[in-house]
Amino acid sequence: MTDQLTYARFWRCALQVNPVGYSGTYRGAHHGFDEGDYNQALLQKCLKLGITVVGLADHGSVASVDSLRQELQPHGIVVFPGFEIASNDKTHYVCLFPEDTTVQQLERYLGNLKLHDPADGIRPSRLSSEELIEEIDVLGGFIYAAHCTQESGLLKNRLNHVWKNPRLRAAQIPGSIEDLTGIESDFYRKVFLNKDDSYRRERPMAAINAKDVAKPDDLDQPSATCFIKMTRPTFAAFKVAFLDPGSRIRLQSQQTQSPIGKVVRMTVAGGYLDGVRVDFSDHLNTVIGGRGTGKSTLLECLRFALDLPPKGKQAEKLHQEIIKENLGRSAGRVDLTVVSSAQNGKRYSISRRYGEPPIVRDMDGTVSTLLPYDLLPGIDIYGQNEIYELAQDEASRVQLLDRFLPRDGEYAAKSAAVHKRLIENQQSLTKSLDGLDELNAQVERLPKLEEQLRGFEDLGLKEKLAKTSLLAREREMANTATDGMQSFQDALSLFRGSLPDLSFISDEATEELPDAAQLLAMRTTIDVLKKEFTEHMTAMQALLDDRAGQFATQYGAWQQAIQGQDAELEKALRTLPTTAGKSGQEVGVAYQKLMEEIERIKPMKSRAARHELQRNTLRQERRNLLAEWSELRGQRIQALQRAAKKLNKRLEGKLKVEIVPEADRTPLRNFLLECKLEGVGEKRLAFVDDVESISPLSLAQSVEKGAAEIQRTWGVTQKVAEALAKLQSSQVMELEALELDHRVDIFLNVTHGQAEPVFRPLNKLSTGQQCTAILHMLLLESVDPLLMDQPEDNLDNAFIADRIVTELREAKTSRQFLFATHNANIPVFGDAEWIGVFTAAQNQGCLGLEAQGSIDVPSIRDQVASILEGGRDAFIQRKEKYEF
């Protein structure tokens, strides 16, 4: 099994397990087991608790090592044999040795430690603590301070010179470091946090939980075990872990959670990477190798399977070339196994062959309708130099911040609703204003028409054609009555179309619902009501048809009657005398048309009043909507500024962001250009960008007050002010509802180390510094992975070592990373859990299982030194030249 382990993970370790006789000898209480039963009980408890590594540590004795080892090892439990020993200053230590160390070797080691009485394991050694630590180191073992805060413990004995010994790398405590708060004036906690000057170490001491296990049930206690990160649980890897305890040692209270969204496995069939299989760590994964061995190809194949196009044009071109070259010629296929954050931690497989779309399957093998993006919507993938390309584009840089700003779905819905109502109000108000203008234009004609009428009346036509005005009024009423009948028909049709469709609550739809009976009762009520309404509408339709027929008959009778009236009027017209060169009939017809026009316009006075009332109502509605719109925008700005404040706190000393409300004035400038203002071109609209602050609503309010107000408020020329004042009401309303985007300004601290921060805006930074700022944002917490090809490009080593690696070590505990890199700082100081070493042979990229592991695998460590540091000799030469 261990041969297939390709990345470092945390293994549960019990590092102070005692043999069968320990409890009776040193605790004065027998547990009731004989040796065989005791060993079997220990085995079962280890299997139950997932304990993979056991350290044996009887007091000065190794007699029971083989019997315990023979019981545990066949079940995959690695045993580090050893013993507990006291120095001449009565300080207790546990000494562990490689898994293949024999009992005879252990006995020789004990003989080297100058015990006062070799037959009495409790008697101390003649060696001091420092001599004991040095001797164990020479013997190739590992020593840690047992129960250091208790009696006979290193800190309890106040041996600060021993604590600072660099060969001593671990000390046992019963719980967490925080549990030590306040004990002995907070002495223990400060020492472990490396905050006590008298005990300060260059490399902090690793705290472990390793309680004395005197009986199998002791393993249940949290203080009995801790977690140590190794690729394969071996003594060599165990020792390497203590070189970087911050990354590789965890107390019971510090167990890390795996990220939700992750790529679990990748396999490639066909093409340059044919046969490559990678089981990724949940945390930091790095790909190294010489140029052209396949590092970039691996990342681009992964991007191809996920069907995520690059964000930059050059990156897109490079991606297509790599995929075509490495998969296209052999119709290669990439298979992924992923865990989806968006789908509540479910596992899926993704398969994609060259020239085809990806196929997503659930773990039952059923093809899913989900796309790869639906599974890992927050995944970030950046190819070689893609960060550099993004750094040149302001819009892309701002988009990088989108995921850290509040996703207020409620705001979006409310904003869209208010905007829709504003547009509807604008349409209604425009229609009402147009109608009112038309009515007023007609009503304004009335005095002139009435004056013309008096001229006709002076000719005596009023008496002779008395019926003319009455007949005109009749016609107007008849037309209105006809419209009234049509309104009944329209209203009934609209009502009929508004009745609900009940298919959504069918028997089939409610079949498995727990409260189906109540839902069906509700459906019955609505169904009965619909039937009753339908019956009433049928009766109303019958009534309408009957009355429509009756109305048609009446309308026909009226038409016959008025035709008779028209005939009499025609006779009267023929009797009129010639006037001013016009025949009497011509004069009469003109009089008749004038009367009809006056009678048509008279009702418009009352209609204009109603329109005026409707206009005022709509204007008030618009004022309310604009106030709601403004309040919503204000709330959004506050939410963005709160988010920026939180972001700044997370990036304190590195990066800061500022929200500039309504800073993107491009939509406003474009709108005014589209209005084609008289004599006003783009240059004269420069005031839009020049004024300190401007909003479409405030500009619209100035426009309504006139040119003088525009000129006074915005400092524009009279020509521009007069042109703006001529905007139509519909344009002013469109201006009121115009939305300007907010701008996100990004500032980077350009100093290093402990220097006072100096923040500069992104547009004032070099390309490398812009890439630095972008990397800071990309490394912020996200539930989905971040994949990058050579993130060190355009960055200096100092920045990578000082900032990126530090952030990576923290971020990788809750997010998966995959980097292809030539920079040793990332896999080594970032303590990558998985390092894949690519090589090339016979025009084929190679990444076998033996080329995968963490820095604790000797072959991987040697290749990292060779590829990234130029080999051991080059590394040593640089060290000598730098003299540190």
364 and 461 part of one domain: no
Band (878; pLDDT cuts 50, 70, 90): low
Q: Say which residue, 118 or 22, is predicted with more confidence.
A: 22
Task: Supply the CATH number for residue 298's domain.
Answer: 3.40.50.300
Q: CA-based angle 851:857:860, to the nearest 5?
A: 40
Mean pLDDT along residues 335-343: 95
How many separate domains does the chain show?
A: 4
- Asked if residue 182 belongs to a domain, the reply is yes
Nearest-angstrom CA–CA distance, 351 and 270 = 13
Query: In which domain, by residue range, is 683 found?
Result: 635-744
Predicted confidence (pLDDT) at residue 1 exceeds the cutoff of 50: no
- Asked if residue 756 belongs to a domain, the reply is no
> Residue 624 has which token pair?
């309310």
Coil/strand/helix, residue 2: helix
12 and 137 part of one domain: yes
Nearest-angstrom CA–CA distance, 403 and 377 = 11
CA dist 74 to 68, 104, 214, 225, 435, Å?
A: 11, 21, 22, 21, 94
- Contact between residue 294 and residue 847 where contact means Cβ atoms under 8 Å apart: yes
Mean pLDDT along residues 547-569: 87
Predicted confidence (pLDDT) at residue 789 exceeds the cutoff of 60: yes
Segment (H or E) for 360: strand 359-362
Neighbours of 378 (CB within 10 A): 15
- Asked if residue 872 belongs to a domain, the reply is no
563 and 680 part of one domain: no
Look at residue 103 in the predicted model and tell me its pLDDT.
94
Quote the mean pLDDT of the chain.
Answer: 87
> Residue 252 has which token pair?
């019971």
Look at residue 345 in the predicted model and tell me its pLDDT.
92
- Contact between residue 870 and residue 826 where contact means Cβ atoms under 8 Å apart: no
- Contact between residue 292 and residue 326 where contact means Cβ atoms under 8 Å apart: no
CB under 8 Å to 333, separation ≥6 — which residues? 268, 269, 270, 327, 351, 352, 353, 354
Mean pLDDT along residues 292-304: 93
pTM of the model: 0.76
If 0-12 CB within 10 Å is exposed, 13-18 middle and 19+ buried, where does residue 597 land? middle
- Asked if residue 196 belongs to a domain, the reply is yes
* Strand bridging mode 347-353 / 845-846: unpaired
Look at residue 60 in the predicted model and tell me its pLDDT.
83
The answer to whether the Cα torsion of 424, 426, 432, 434 is positive or negative is negative
Nearest-angstrom CA–CA distance, 238 and 46 = 18
Look at residue 3 in the predicted model and tell me its pLDDT.
47
Look at residue 190 in the predicted model and tell me its pLDDT.
96
173 and 296 part of one domain: no
Predicted confidence (pLDDT) at residue 651 exceeds the cutoff of 80: yes
- Contact between residue 655 and residue 404 where contact means Cβ atoms under 8 Å apart: no
184 and 289 part of one domain: no
Coil/strand/helix, residue 422: helix
Neighbours of 857 (CB within 10 A): 26
Nearest-angstrom CA–CA distance, 476 and 596 = 8
- Contact between residue 830 and residue 286 where contact means Cβ atoms under 8 Å apart: yes
- Asked if residue 750 belongs to a domain, the reply is no
- Contact between residue 186 and residue 150 where contact means Cβ atoms under 8 Å apart: no
Greatest CA separation for the chain: 155
In 3D space, the residue among 737, 743, 665 whose CA is nearest the CA of residue 697 turns out to be 737
CA dist 683 to 669, 672, 739, 873, Å?
A: 11, 12, 22, 66
Nearest-angstrom CA–CA distance, 216 and 208 = 20
Look at residue 843 in the predicted model and tell me its pLDDT.
85
721 and 833 part of one domain: no
* Strand bridging mode 51-56 / 9-17: parallel
Look at residue 435 in the predicted model and tell me its pLDDT.
66
DSSP string, 102-168: -HHHHHHHHHHTTBS-TT-TTSPBSS-HHHHHHHHHHTT-EEEETTTTSTT-TTTTT-HHHHT-TT-
591 and 640 part of one domain: no
CB under 8 Å to 301, separation ≥6 — which residues? 266, 268, 273, 323, 326, 327, 334
- Asked if residue 282 belongs to a domain, the reply is yes
If 0-12 CB within 10 Å is exposed, 13-18 middle and 19+ buried, where does residue 252 land? middle
Amino acid at 867: I
Task: Supply the CATH number for residue 230's domain.
Answer: 3.20.20.140
Neighbours of 867 (CB within 10 A): 18
CB under 8 Å to 730, separation ≥6 — which residues? 426, 430
168 and 70 part of one domain: yes
Q: How far is CA 535 from the centre of its chain?
A: 54
Q: Which of 612, 647, 672 is the last residue of a domain?
A: 612
CA dist 209 to 170, 201, 734, Å?
A: 10, 20, 69
- Contact between residue 84 and residue 152 where contact means Cβ atoms under 8 Å apart: no
184 and 54 part of one domain: yes
Beta bridge partners of 660: 743
Nearest-angstrom CA–CA distance, 243 and 855 = 11
> Residue 794 has which token pair?
């355009």
Beta bridge partners of 58: 83
824 and 732 part of one domain: no
DSSP state of 282: S
CB under 8 Å to 821, separation ≥6 — which residues? 286, 287, 288, 790, 791, 792, 827
Look at residue 2 in the predicted model and tell me its pLDDT.
42
Band (305; pLDDT cuts 50, 70, 90): very high
Q: CA-based angle 840:845:851, to the nearest 5?
A: 80
Predicted confidence (pLDDT) at residue 881 exceeds the cutoff of 60: no
- Asked if residue 391 belongs to a domain, the reply is no
Q: What is the pLDDT of residues 819-850, one digit of tens each?
A: 998 888 888 889 999 999 999 988 899 999 99
Nearest-angstrom CA–CA distance, 392 and 311 = 12
192 and 273 part of one domain: no
Q: Which of 254, 274, 309 is the last residue of a domain?
A: 254
CA dist 434 to 163, 430, 439, 626, 733, Å?
A: 90, 6, 9, 22, 14
In 3D space, the residue among 206, 246, 208, 245 whose CA is nearest the CA of residue 225 turns out to be 208
- Contact between residue 706 and residue 725 where contact means Cβ atoms under 8 Å apart: yes
- Contact between residue 155 and residue 187 where contact means Cβ atoms under 8 Å apart: yes
Q: What is the pLDDT of residues 464-520, one digit of tens each?
A: 566 677 777 788 788 889 988 999 999 999 888 888 888 888 888 888 889 989 989
Q: What is the pLDDT of residues 204-219, one digit of tens each?
A: 999 999 999 999 999 9
Buried b (16+ CB within 10 A) or exposed e, 671-710: ebeebebeebeeeebeebeeeeebbbbebbbbbeeebeeb
Q: What is the pLDDT of residues 309-334, one digit of tens each?
A: 998 888 899 999 999 999 998 999 99
Q: Say which residue, 827 or 876, is predicted with more confidence.
A: 827
Look at residue 575 in the predicted model and tell me its pLDDT.
64
736 and 840 part of one domain: no
Coil/strand/helix, residue 643: helix
- Contact between residue 148 and residue 154 where contact means Cβ atoms under 8 Å apart: yes
Band (571; pLDDT cuts 50, 70, 90): confident
Q: What is the pLDDT of residues 439-479, one digit of tens each?
A: 677 777 778 877 776 766 665 556 556 667 777 778 878 88
Amino acid at 31: H
- Asked if residue 429 belongs to a domain, the reply is yes
